[in-house]
């Protein structure tokens, strides 16, 4: 036996403390995802609106009205969208769990064989797989079958209200950054100050999305910043063109 084998053998049984195995992880990740997405959309969409308005007019009141209207509409839209989306997911999960309950009640032997077959496919021999299936079924039949067959934790069903609130609040916070920067700064610097603030904010949300998703922070930041800059250039160009034509 090698030193690595001994180290592995002496390691405590249970999840590694740095890995996300805690109960309720699904709901936490769901609202974190909604919060990061909401903040990102609030920053980009409101920045696009106020920068487009600046391209069309120098009237501070018009810029504020456009930004506030965009903030309110966007926050409500994001919250409603998250609620509908996550509600649909939740309804599907609950329907699948109800189906699994019926099958466990009406076809217990077939369900036990199905669970054992899943563990055989994962590499256990048939005898051990059956022992594991029997033990897990005795402890928590629905939880064992739902996790193995459906990838669902019955005790951690996604909450549409959490996602909707997280999305609405984070969108509002994100939208306030370009709105306040654009309206409070002097006309000489407000455009470039807003662009700089938006770039920094998008870099932060890009890093956060990568952190929560265990992805590459560099790619996420570059993708986020590039998308935001593109949106601002396009909306400024549209605002400038429309402002010239209308004026």
**58-110 pLDDT tens trace:** 888 999 999 999 999 999 999 999 899 989 989 998 999 999 899 889 998 89
Q: What is the DSSP string of 159-218?
A: -HHHHHHHHHHHHHHHHHHHHHHHHHS-TTTHHHHHHHHHHHHHHHHHHHHHHHHT--HH
Backbone angles phi, psi at 191, to 5 degrees: -65, -55
Backbone angles phi, psi at 175, to 5 degrees: -70, -30
Q: What is the mean pLDDT of residues 122-147?
A: 88
The predicted pLDDT at position 208 comes to 83
pLDDT reading at 7 higher than 50: no
- Domains of the chain by residue range: 25-104+157-246
Predicted TM-score (pTM) of this structure: 0.74
How far apart are alpha carbons 227 and 225 in whole angstroms? 5
Q: If you compute the radius of gyration of the chain from its CA atoms, what whole number of angstroms results?
A: 25
Average pLDDT, the chain: 84
Percent of the chain at pLDDT above 90? 39
pLDDT reading at 15 higher than 70: no
How far apart are alpha carbons 120 and 133 in whole angstroms? 10
Residue given tokens 């001994």 in the structure block:
6
CB burial of residue 139 (10 Å; 0-12, 13-18, 19+) = exposed
């Amino acid at each position: 036996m090698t030193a690595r084998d001994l180290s592995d053998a002496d390691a405590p049984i249970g999840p590694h403390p740095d890995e996300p195995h805690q109960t309720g992880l699904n709901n936490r990740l769901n609202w974190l995802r909604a919060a990061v997405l909401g903040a990102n959309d609030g920053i980009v969409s409101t920045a696009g609106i106020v920068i487009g308005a600046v391209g069309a007019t120098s009237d501070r009141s018009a810029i504020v009205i456009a930004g506030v209207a965009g903030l309110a509409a966007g926050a409500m839209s994001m919250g409603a969208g998250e609620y509908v989306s996550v509600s649909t997911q939740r309804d599907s999960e609950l329907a699948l769990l109800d189906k699994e309950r019926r099958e466990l009640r009406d076809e217990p032997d077939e369900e036990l064989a199905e669970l054992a077959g899943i563990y055989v496919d994962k590499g256990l021999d048939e005898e051990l797989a059956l022992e594991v299936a029997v033990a897990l079924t005795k402890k928590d039949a629905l939880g064992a079958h739902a996790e193995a067959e459906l990838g669902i934790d019955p005790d951690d069903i996604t909450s549409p209200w959490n996602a909707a609130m997280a999305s609405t609040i984070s969108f509002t916070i994100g939208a306030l950054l370009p709105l306040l920067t654009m309206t409070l700064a002097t006309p000489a610097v407000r455009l470039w100050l807003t662009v700089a603030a938006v770039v920094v904010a998008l870099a932060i949300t890009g890093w956060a999305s990568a952190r929560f998703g265990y992805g590459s922070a560099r790619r996420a930041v570059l993708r986020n910043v590039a998308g935001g800059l593109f949106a601002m250039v396009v909306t400024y160009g549209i605002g400038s063109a429309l402002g010239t034509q209308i004026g």
